[in-house]
Structure 1
Amino acid sequence: MRFVIDHLSKHFEKKEVLKEITFTFEEGKIYGLLGRNGAGKTTLFNCLNRDIRADGGTFFLDENGTPREISAEDIGYVLSTPTVPEFLTGREFLKFFLDINASSIQNLRSLDEYFDMMSIAPEDRDKLLKDYSHGMKNKMQMLINIIAQPKILLLDEPLTSLDVVVAEEMKQLLRSQKDGKITIFSTHIMDLALDLCDEIVLLSHGVLEVVEKSNLDNQEFKEKIIAALKEESYA
């Protein structure tokens, strides 16, 4: 399975944010989408999720050589700021999600098994989501996307504001879940991308380009990447 982006473009008034991006993502890998704040990472995700309309270009799934249009069920999107129904408890929210998606969920587990998967303590499972910490809300958002098993998982800087323990748990979970899907993880933190991701893609000046991960172990090459990102901030 491949996820193909072909000449995708987006502008806001006179600013061209995405410049005819063409790229192919392959199944079974975590891709680090590296770019400074404001580079267009969220804009790209919003176009792919169809939350906003692209100005040009297409994107599609290629399964065994057969291209097809992407459906809503194909894409999971984890926002940097988690959005959950705060009037529900964690258990109520998870049960509601499982109930409405029961026909499509594979290998259905019990509620407590899912909570265990995310290391959510028993005493927190019946609390209102409004009383959850940012990290716990993020875990719930991540959990429903993992249960849904989308073919493409878009992660918009989901680890940036988490504490060290929660962030490490999330990284281990993502690594264990990457088979059979395409995971695109956006971040502006180079070391995080190096630690988690199989491939690094740089979004700079509205264009995507592959960065050889082995090169990023070289300090001189890191400095070149940082210089390119700084240059973009002044463009």
Structure 2
Amino acid sequence: MELVVENLEKDFGDKHVLSGADFVFEQGKIYGLLGRNGAGKTTLFNCLGGEMQADRGSMKLVQGHSSRDLQPEDVGYVYALPILPEFLTGYEFIRFYIDVNQAAIADRGDDIDALFDLMSIEESDRHKLIKHYSHGMKNKLQMLLFLLMKPPVILLDEPLTSLDVIVALEMKKLLREMKDEHVLIFSTHILQLAADLCDELVVLHRGKLTCVSAEVLKQPDFEQQVIELLSEVDADESGSGEEDADAGDN
């Protein structure tokens, strides 16, 4: 399976945030999405996830000789700031989520405790209100939803940056285990994390997507080479205008 993005464009007024972005993301790989603040990473994720309408272009899922337009239900989105019902306990939320989506959940929906075990969520935490969960716990709860729904495409917006070392290692292990069945795109500012976790790095620069070659990743100075690429910004792109156009982007 492939996620094929072709000529994707998104404008905010006279600012071209996505300018004919093209890329083929393959199942079985974790892609690291890199870009400066305001480059359009969140805009790209919002277009892929159906939360924002692209102005032009297409996003398709391709399997062999068949293809279809990407739908919102094809995409799981791990937000940098998890959006969860904090008035419920973790257990209540997962029970409710399973009940609502029972028709779409093929397996793993019967034993909720086994799901929490899989995510290394302690038994004492399962019946706490989500508002008392740490950021890492909330991210685990988000990931648990994707283990249930198994969307073909999973977008991860800075999911590891605020986690402690143990939880981050657990999340990286889980992502590596999941990649064979999904297209995983991981947005981060941390180059070393991207190089450690991801199979390929993709740079969003001047509205277009460019793959960083495997040869560059193997070189000891790869971080400097990526930084130099991201620094090649015209004077009119380095001001505050693009940040305003792509408000809230990372």
Specify the TM-score bucket, using the shorter chain as the normaliser: over 0.9
Secondary structure of residue in 1 paired with 2:6: strand
Give the structure-1-normalised TM-score: 0.95
Is the deviation greater in 33-42 or in 188-197?
A: 33-42
User: Could you tell me how far 1:195 is from its partner in structure 2?
Assistant: 0.7
Equivalent residue letter for 2:152: K
Deviates more, 1:194-203 or 1:105-114: 105-114
* Number of matched pairs: 235
Q: Which amino acid aligns with 2:12?
A: F
Written as runs of structure 1 = structure 2, the 5 A alignment for 1:1-235 is: 1-108=1-108, 109-232=110-233, 235=237
* Contact 1:30/1:198 (8 A) holds in 2: yes
Displacement of 1:206? 1.3
1:221 deviates by 4.0
Could you tell me how far apart the structure 1 residues matched to 2:133 and 2:231 are? 36
TM-score by length of 2: 0.90
Residues in 2 aligned to 1:166 and 1:230: alpha-carbon distance in whole angstroms? 32
Any unmatched runs of 5+ in structure 1?
none
Displacement of 1:184 in angstroms is: 0.7
Q: Deviations over 1:47-95 (max 9, x none)?
A: 1111111111111111121111222321111101101000100000000
Closer, same or farther: CA 221–194 of 1 in aligned 2, 3 Å: closer
SS in 2 for 1:23: strand
Secondary structure of the residue aligned to 1:178 is helix
Alpha-carbon distance, 1:224 to partner:
2.3
After alignment, is 187-196 or 216-225 more displaced? 216-225
Per-residue CA distance 1:151-201 (angstroms, 9 max, x = gap): 011111111111111111100001011112111111111111111111111
Contact persistence 2:107–2:148 (CA under 8 A): no
Q: Aligned with 1:57: secondary structure?
A: strand
Counterpart-to-counterpart distance in 2, 1:103 and 1:158? 28
Aligned-pair distance for 1:233?
8.4
Name the SS of the counterpart of 2:52 in structure 1. coil
Asked if the contact 1:78/1:145 (under 8 Å) is kept, the reply is no
Listed as ranges, the gaps of 5+ residues in structure 2 are: 238-250
Structure-1 separation of matches of 2:13 and 2:174: 40
**For 1:47 and 1:78, how far apart are their aligned partners in 2?**
14
Amino acid paired to 1:160: T
- Please say if residues 18 and 206 of structure 1, whose CA atoms lie closer than 8 Å, have aligned partners that are also in contact: yes
* C-alpha RMSD of the superposition: 1.4
Residue 32 of structure 1 and its aligned partner are, at CA, apart by 0.9
Q: What amino acid sits opposite 2:215 in the alignment?
A: S
Instruction: Tell me the secondary structure at the aligned position of residue 92 of structure 1.
Output: helix
Question: Offset at 1:35?
Answer: 1.6
CA distance in 1, matches of 2:113, 2:234: 46
Distance (Å, rounded) in 2 between the aligned partners of 1:71 and 1:222 = 35
Q: What code does the residue aligned with 1:23 have?
A: F
C-alpha separation between the residues in 1 aligned to 2:145 and 2:37?
A: 27
Q: Amino acid of the residue matched to residue 202 of structure 1?
A: V
